[in-house]
Amino acid sequence: MQVFFVFAVGLPAGRLFDAGYFHHCILGGSLVYIFSVFMLSLVEPHHYYQNFLAQGVGMGIGMGLMFLPSLQVTSHYFARRRSLAMGFVISGSSIGGCLYPVLLNNMFTRTSGFGTGVRAVAFMDLGLLIIANFVMRARLPPKRGGKEGESVFKEVITDGPYLLFIFGSFLIFWGIFVPFFYLQLYAALHGVSPGFVRYSITVMNAASILGRTVPNFVADICGPLNVMIPISIISGSLVFAMFGATSIGGTVVFGIFYGFFSGGVVSVVTPAAVSFVSRKDHLDLGIRIGLLSFTLAFALLTGNPIAGALLSPPAYRWHLPLIFAAVVTICGAVCYLTARSALVKRKATQLL
């Protein structure tokens, strides 16, 4: 639920960003997020609704208000190297994905428990967000609204190639995170050392740091959509390699390769959406990215539960969720290929 709100709030946050409310989004999101983390530290055992409200809803909305505006503001400062700049911004989530699990696991065992550990992290997050609120600045003036804004929105939602791109993105994000959620369980059930299993996701996130920067560097040269298609196909194909994660070596190799290519998919999807921008004033940029983010929220909300239902514990039919993840990811890449063909005709260039 948390990741759903992170992306779903992107649509209103994108519109607020376009209207000139960047700092309002960042400050408001910071306050909601920090408050929710502190509330999470007070959650009582066996009270699921408290955890749901604090971590699922509160933290999700707070991060959603900050995520898309933080990404969009990068486009104010970079034009020629926009994909690489966005990649560096998004790679921060991979760094956090490496540090936070290790940090929290050690705090939970070495401090007085869950509440103290979460509060310690909350104070650290508070300090980092204070710095972010002072440092981040929007450079360009707010974009026009009114009737022109309404016409731009209508133009975006009737753009056939872009809608096909969004559908392809939905399919890809429907399946691409399945290994992230189930690798630990798969490795644990197939004899991998419990001491290492907890770090398997850290390996994937570490590989994602490079995956969210190197493909973006290539995207600035070859075009983000041209990069997105092959790395999506490779990511879908690599899902089947998870069957080899039955030892520490196999888990590490799978984590590195899948983390790299799937990280590239997550990082390049936003620059790829920018390829469809049709106005010189980029008035449709925020709407396109916000619509993409809102759509991906539903893919992320339903993809992993579908995989879990296909897994059917305690039978653990692993081939079903992995086939699901691989097929939808590759089908999404086919949608990208079709959308690219239409966009090539529209823009009369192969550099997309």
Burial class (CB in 10 A: 0-12, 13-18, 19+), 146: exposed
pLDDT of residue 62: 94
CA nearest 251: which of 193, 294, 293?
193
Confidence band (pLDDT; 50, 70, 90) for 144?
low
Q: Which CATH code of 1.20.1250.20, 3.40.50.2300, 3.90.1150.200, 3.60.15.30 fits the domain covering 2-135+145-344? A: 1.20.1250.20
Task: With CA atoms as reference, report the closest residue to 84 among 251, 218, 240.
Answer: 218
pLDDT at 330: 96
pLDDT of residue 164: 95
Q: How far apart are CA 60 and CA 9, in angstroms?
A: 9
Predicted local confidence at residue 143, as pLDDT? 65
**Predicted local distance difference test score (pLDDT) of residue 172:** 96
Q: CA-to-CA distance for 133 and 317, rounded, in angstroms? A: 47
Q: What is the per-residue pLDDT for 279?
A: 67
Task: Report the mean per-residue pLDDT for the chain.
Answer: 87
> Can you read off the two tokens belonging to residue 335?
């949608």
pLDDT for residue 329: 96
Taking residues 88-99, report their average pLDDT. 80
* pLDDT at residue 8 is higher than 70: yes
pLDDT in tens, 281-292: 566 777 888 889
Mean of the pLDDT values across residues 302-323?
91
Distance CA 251, CA 256 (A): 9
Residue 202 φ/ψ region, left for φ over 0, alpha for ψ in the -120 to 50 degree band, beta for the rest: alpha
Longest dimension (CA), the chain: 63
Task: Of 49-53, 132-136, 138-142, 163-167, give the lowest mean pLDDT range.
Answer: 138-142
What confidence tens digit (pLDDT) does each residue in 145-192 have?
Answer: 556 667 777 888 888 999 999 999 999 999 999 999 999 999 999 888
pLDDT at 58: 94
Is there a contact between 290 and 15 (Cβ–Cβ < 8 Å)?
A: yes
pLDDT confidence of residue 337: 95
- The model's pTM: 0.87
Tell me the C-alpha distance between 165 and 142, whole Å. 27
Give the pLDDT confidence score for residue 112 in this predicted structure. 66
Q: What is the pLDDT of residue 111?
A: 65
Per-residue pLDDT at 282: 65
Report the pLDDT value the prediction gives residue 256, as an integer from 0 to 100.
94
pLDDT tens for 99-135 read: 887 787 777 777 667 888 888 889 999 999 999 999 9
- How many angstroms separate the first and last alpha carbons of the chain? 33
76 secondary structure, DSSP code: G
Find, among 121, 122, 89, the residue nearest to 105 by Cα.
121
Q: What are 46's two structure tokens? A: 């066996």
User: What tokens were used for 16?
Assistant: 């607020």
Q: Which long-range contacts (CB under 8 A, 24 or more apart) does 286-289 make?
A: 286/14, 286/15, 286/17, 286/18, 286/72, 286/143, 287/14, 287/15, 287/18, 287/152, 287/153, 287/156, 288/156, 288/162, 289/10, 289/14, 289/68, 289/71, 289/72
Instruction: Return the domain boundaries, the chain.
Output: 2-135+145-344
